[in-house]
Amino acid sequence: MAGLGSLVVLPNCVRYVQVGCYSFFILFYLAMFQETSAATTLDQAALALGESTACDTSRRQFINHAGRGLLAAGIATALPLAAAEAADLGNEAALAPPTGPLDIKLPPLEAPTEPKAGPFPNPDAPDQRVGFAIVGLGHLTLAEILPAFGQAKHCKPVALVSGDPDKMAKAAKQYGIKPSSCYSYQNYDKLKDNPEVQVIYIVLPNSMHHEYTIRGAKAGKHILCEKPMANSVKECEEMIAACNKAGKKLMIAYRIQYEPLNRAAQKMVRDKTYGKTKLIQMMNCQNQAHDQQWRHKKALAGGGSLPDVGLYCLNTTRFLLGEEPTEVSAQIYSTPGDDRFKEIEENVSFTLRFPSGVIAQCMTGYGSFNNKSYAVHAETGTIKMDPAFPYKGLKQELVHAPNGKQMIEQPSNPDKQQFALEMDHMAECVRSNKTPYTPGEEGLQDQRIMEAIYQSAKENKPVKLTVGVGKTDAFRGTPPTEEEAA
């Protein structure tokens, strides 16, 4: 028996009936003789909800099953509740669709002294997200980028481009992409006729970035391009010019600049949390498979370990400091007789000098065991990231000695999906007409410095650099907001 003020859930004909103990007993007797009246009243409640009275048969079955009195007892309150609900439904239908994040907030479950879990994702409704076309269905796209849309807030995959129709058909089914939105490299330009596509994400071998960025811009789409930007300074400049001419945005996918722990490291460096930065050590090495993958072909890759993984050392150093180097010196070595390095370099060691006096020592390689780490050595402490560059599982250590006692702190890792963060930033830049934090000019500067690294190693002497020197974040655009990084 329902208690005073409780709710009983009925079939669709009546949504809610509030039952009071006293009303139940009084109306039970009356209902025995008033089935017809009760049924009529129930029809009125159904009509108030905008429902058909065609549920009359199930209603009468319910009366016989549950007791006529129970039904009648709630009619008096069912009608006003039904009318109120109908009014609410009408109001909801009249509401304009939301234009920003659907901010849902709940009271915290933990005491203020407990670690904070962070806000809810609060993603945009699907029809409000920026549509992306993904060009290239290799390991990075299938293992990281397409799955990342599941954690993205502001973007969605709406088209694919691939030279493998069978693989593309499977991926399209997996991610709900229409067959009509699947393209080959030959009909790639037809993306211009797809209004769902606002951004093209180019995930192709390095030598193809130039062509597909220019074609994509001519198709009237914004471009997100994987790093390295291209194989030469000239190509980078032409990509920027093409996007500027088309009035479209160009962003380079430097995911580390959007990752929370690396951004926290940048803030500590810029805020001089441990005093002035003096030295930086960067390392990004991995042991390549003995095969003929495109990364081992200079025509496709543009180089070996330097543009692929060494670029993280270069770009992250610039990102942390906000400075541009004034000089670079480098050495290159490849193991004789190793088929992987017939066309490309194996190991590169390079030193960057900055206007503030910081010296950064960077090493990268294609033939040694995995090591992706860095350390920033400042006056009163060291910021360590190990690992620093993988797609997930990053760890940070802060080593300092407050009050003369050495302490090692290990901040918790929010472990955000890095590709989701960078794609959401691009989506927000498109919607808000902002310059991306890592625009084409950022990729162009890295290409200039990499060419200087190769020159220094070839000539066995330092190479002076002048572009951007003396400016803070000379080639970066609008920083990601706290909401984008949450």
Q: Which residues are catalytic?
A: 227, 312
Place of tokens 């960025």: 213
Q: Which residues contact 435 (CB under 8 A, 6 or more apart)?
A: 249, 429, 477, 478
Eight-state DSSP code of residue 195: T
Distance in angstroms (rounded) separating the CA atoms of residues 365 and 284:
7
DSSP string, 124-138: PPGGGSEEEEEE--S
SS3 18: strand
Contact 152, 182 (CB under 8 A): no
**Nearest alpha-carbon partner for 219 in 127, 126, 129, 135:** 135
Beta carbons of 327 and 359 less than 8 angstroms apart: no
Give which of 274, 317, 308, 279 is closest to 406, Cα–Cα: 274
Distance CA 468, CA 323 (A): 8
Contact predicate 313/294, CB 8 Å:
no
